[in-house]
Amino acid sequence: MDLPRIGALIALRLAVAALAATLSACAAPAPGPAPATSGQGEGYFAGIDDLPLAPGLVERPGERTSFETVAGRIEARGAAGRASREAVALFYAQALPQLGWQPQADGTYARGGERLGLEFSNPPEDATTLLLRILITPG
C-alpha cells in the first residue's frame, strides 16, 4: 500500500474517532427510559434496515448520524432502556451473525468491508438505564 493511501486511512480513522467522541460528549441522557413501541424493542434502527433494536431498548433519535466517505459509510445510532448489558450483548451476539456480521477478536463485528462496534454505558444519574451506541465504519 502506498504512503498517500495509508495517510488517508489514518485520517479517516482519526475522523471516525473524533465523531465518536463528539457524539459521546453531545449526547444527553434521556430523562428516563421511554416505553418501546410495538413491544419492547421490536424493530430496527432508523435508516439501517438490517440492524435490529435489542429488546428493552428504544432508539434515541437525537443520536443518529449518517454520512458517506470515500472509504464507505459511517453510521452512528443510540438507544436506551432498562435492560442489562449482558442481555443486550447476547442479543447482538446471536442476531448479528445471522445478518452476515462476523465477530472479531477485538469485540467488533465485520461484514463486507465494514466494522460494527457496540458501546455500553450508564448515565451517572440513573444506573438502571443502559445506554447503547452503535458505530458502523469502513473497515
For residue 48, give the C-alpha cell: 439501517
**What's residue 10's pLDDT?**
58
Which residues constitute the domain of residue 41?
A: 3-138
**What pTM did the predictor assign?**
0.70
Instruction: Give the pLDDT of residue 23.
Output: 45
Count of domains forming the chain? 1
| Gap between the Cα atoms of 23 and 20, Å rounded | 5
**Predicted confidence (pLDDT) at residue 21 exceeds the cutoff of 60:** no
Give the Cα separation of 102 and 105 in Å (integer): 10
Does the structure show a pLDDT above 80 at 110?
yes
Helices (H), the chain: 3-26, 85-98
Phi, psi angle pair for 82, to nearest 5°: -95, 80
